[in-house]
Structure 1
Amino acid sequence: MIALDTNFFLIAVPAVIFAGISKAGFGSGAAFASASILALVLPPGQALGIMLPLLMLVDVFSLKPYWGKWAKPEARALILGGLPGVALGIALWRVANDDMLRFLIGAVSLAFVAWQLAKARGLIRIRKGAGSSWIGYLAGTVAGFTSFVSHAGGPPAAVYLLSRGLEKTTYQATTVLVFWVINVAKFVPYAFLGIFTVETLMIDLYLIPAALVGTWLGVYAHRFVSESVFFAITYVLLSLTGSKLIWDALT
C-alpha cells in the first residue's frame, strides 16, 4: 500500500507539475525527472505506473496549442522507430527486478546530465541540418525503449531533432506528437504487465490537478521563460535523484 500522507504529496505534486512544464513547454527532455523523483519513495514500477496516465493527460492538453506545427518527416521517423523500442522495453521488463529498474532510471538520469554538460562545453557538436531518416528511426527506437522503462524518451529524440535544425515551436510540437503516440503504445503493455493497479489509478485522480497546472505553466513558459534556467534546475534534480537511485540499487 502507498501511504497517501503529507510527505507523499509534498514529493508527488511538484514532480507532476514539473513533468507538465517540461512536456508542454520544453520538448519533453526533462519530464522523466518526475518518475526519477517518485522512484526515490516508491518501487520503480509503481512510480512509472502513476506517471504514465498523467503524462498522457499532459499530452492531450498539449496537442491543441501545437496542433499541425510539427515536422512531419521527423515525427514519422521517430514514431516508426519508437514502436519497436517499446517492444524491447516490454522484453526487458519481463526479466527486470526493482533494483535493475532503479539502476537503469538512475543511469539514464545521469547520462542525460552528462550529455547536456558535454554539449554545453563544446565536447559534443550537433551539426544542424544533419541526420537522415535512418538516424531518426534509430533515435526513435532508443526513445521508445527508454520511454517504456523510465519515461525518458526525450533525450534520444532530442539528439535527432536538434540535428535537424528545427525552429523552437516546431521542435516542441514534434515532441508533443511523438510522445503522445509512444505513450499510447505503452498503455496496453503497462496494463498487461501489472504496472497499473487500482491503487496507482486512484492516486492519479488526486494528481490530475497538478498535471493540468503543469501543462498550463509549460505552454506559458515556452514563450517567456529561459530554457537555460529551466534546465539548470533539471540538471541538479536529475544528478541528485539519479545518484541516489544508483546507490539504492547497488546497496
Structure 2
Amino acid sequence: MLTDPNFYAIAIPAVMLVGLSKGGLGGAFALIGVPLLALAVPPMQAAAIFLPILLVMDAVALWAWRKHNDRATLLALLPGALIGIALGWATSRYVSGDAMRLVLGAISLVFALKYFLERRTVAGDTPAKATQHRPVAATIWGSFSGYASFVAHAGGPPFQIYTLPLKLDPFSYTGASTRYFAILNAIKLIPYFALGELDTTNLTLSATLLPVALVSTLIGAKLVHTLRPAIFYPLMYGMVLIAGSKLFYDGAVGILGL
C-alpha cells in the first residue's frame, strides 16, 4: 500500500480536507475527509491512520492559534466531552456508528437550517443576541461531541451547536475549537492503542501523509485570519449544514445497507 498510487490519489485529498478543517475552516471538511479515505482502506483502518495525523495537525493549529482562546468555553464543554469519550469506549461494540451519524446529522441539519431561515426573516441588519454559557446544555452537547468524536470522528457538529450561538469573535472561537479537539484527540490515543488499531502499518501510512497535513493546516489557519465575522459565521453555519448532510447520508446508507 505504501507504493500504491491509487491509495495516495484518495488519501492526499482526504488529508488536505481535514487539514483545512484543522486550520479553522470548520468540521465539514474533516467529515468529508475521513469517509473519503475509507474508499481506499477499511473504515476502521481509515480512522486509525487519521488519528496520528490529527494529532500533528492539532500541534500545528495550536501553534497557529496560540494567542487566541476562550477559556470559559473549554471549561464548559470538556467535562461532558470526557464523559462522552468514556461512554464511546465502553459501548463501541454495541452502538452503531451509523445510528450516531444519522442522529447527529439530523440535529445538525435542523440547527443550520434554523439559522439561515432566521437570517431571511429578521428585518434589517439587527443581529440575534448572543447566548450565555449554560452548564446543562454544555454537558449535553459536550457529551455528544466526545461520543461522536470517538465512534465516528464527528465531534464537530455538537461542538458547533453549543458554541456558535455564543457569537464569540472568530479568533476566540477558532482558538477554543483548536484546543478542545486537540485535547479530545490526545485522550483518544488510549482506547485506540487498546483496540490494537495503531499498528506499524497504519503508523507508517500516517507518517507518509504528514507533510500534506502540515501544509494544509497552515493554509486553513491563514484563510481564517482573513475572514470578517459577517463572513465567518455564515461560512461556519454553512459548514454545519454540509457536515450534517454528510453525516445524515452516511448514517442512512449504513443503516439501510444501500
* TM-score interval, smaller chain: 0.7 to 0.9
Structure 1's 206 and 247: CA in aligned 2 closer, same or farther, altered over 3 A? same
TM-score (norm 1): 0.84
The answer to whether the aligner puts 1:117 opposite 2:113 as a matched pair is yes
Q: Does the aligned pair in 2 maintain the 1:29–1:152 contact within 8 Å? A: no
Instruction: For 1:1-251, list aligned pairs within 5 A.
Output: 5-28=4-27, 30-95=29-94, 100-102=96-98, 104-105=100-101, 108-109=104-105, 112-113=108-109, 115-122=111-118, 128-224=130-226, 227=232, 239=245, 243=249, 246-251=252-257
Structure 1's 128 and 240: CA in aligned 2 closer, same or farther, altered over 3 A? closer
How big is each residue's C-alpha offset from its partner over 1:63-119, in whole Å with a ceiling of 9 and x where there is no partner?
Answer: 1222242111111121121111101111222335xxx43554466456545542342
Q: Does the aligned pair in 2 maintain the 1:44–1:101 contact within 8 Å? A: no
Larger radius of gyration: 2
Structure 1's 106 and 48: CA in aligned 2 closer, same or farther, altered over 3 A? farther
Q: Does the aligned pair in 2 maintain the 1:102–1:246 contact within 8 Å? A: yes
CA-CA distance at 1:212 after TM superposition? 0.5
CA-CA distance at 1:27 after TM superposition? 4.2
CA distance in 1, matches of 2:135, 2:200: 41
Q: Which runs of 5+ in 2 are unaligned?
A: 123-127
Q: Which runs of 5+ in 1 are unaligned?
A: none
What is the aligned length? 246
After TM superposition, the structure 1 stretch with the greater mean CA deviation from structure 2, 67-76 or 22-31, is 22-31
Structure 1's 30 and 117: CA in aligned 2 closer, same or farther, altered over 3 A? farther
CA-CA distance at 1:53 after TM superposition? 1.0
CA-CA distance at 1:30 after TM superposition? 4.1
**What is the CA RMSD across the aligned residues, in angstroms?**
2.9
CA distance in 2, matches of 1:53, 1:181: 13
